[in-house]
Amino acid sequence: MGAAAVEPAAVVDRVALDLEGRRKRRHVVTTVKGNAILIDLAEVPSLHDGDGLVLEDGGVVRVEALPEDLMEVTVSDAAERVKVAWHLGNRHLAVQFVGEAMRIRQDHVIKVMLEGLGARVVELSAAFDPEAGAYGHQHGGHQHGGHGHGHG
């Protein structure tokens, strides 16, 4: 099975995956319709909500990003945002930028630190799609270049 952009007419099923599930190269998943399928990609992917996985018969399984327990971090101005972003990066945390807010995975210790820096922290449940990093996709301590799938 490979990954590709989604043509709505070709979608035969859907699979809901968290961030780790969307970044595994090879694993078996259960679709919304209850079918077990093997995801077996040539490289470690960075699948996003709305991407498609092409089955051997040409059908497409649409990827849906599962909601995860996150914290949305906001601050009063750009200088404070840079300071908070520096602290998050210094701890090698995955960060998703949503407008002027930053989203990270829930972590009590990090929440206390952020509030100590003057940030407003709100816990929420949402799909998590953090930045890939300066060198391309990041997956458990390694990176790779291009990937063999499109984004729909």
Q: Give the domain ranges of the chain.
A: 2-66, 67-127
pLDDT mean over 34-43 = 92
Q: What is the pLDDT of residue 150?
A: 41
27 or 4, which is more confident?
27
**CATH architecture of the domain formed by 2-66:** Sandwich (2.60)
Report d(CA 45, CA 94) in Å as an integer.
16
Residue 4 has pLDDT above 50, yes or no: yes
Residues 6+ apart with CB under 8 A from 151: 5, 48, 50, 51
CATH code for 67-127? 3.30.70.790
Q: What is the pLDDT of residue 5?
A: 61
**Cβ–Cβ under 8 Å, residues 3 and 15:** no
122 or 8, which is more confident?
122
**Cβ–Cβ under 8 Å, residues 101 and 74:** yes
79-109 burial, b for 16+ CB within 10 Å, e for fewer? Answer: eebeebeebbeeeeebbbeeeeebbbbeeee
Pairing mode, strands 11-17 and 60-65: parallel
Average pLDDT score, the chain: 86
Nearest CA-CA partner of 106 in 73, 69, 67: 69
Q: What is the pLDDT of residue 136?
A: 57
Element (H, E) at 103: strand 101-105
pLDDT digits (tens, 9 = 90+) for 89-112: 999 999 999 999 999 999 999 999
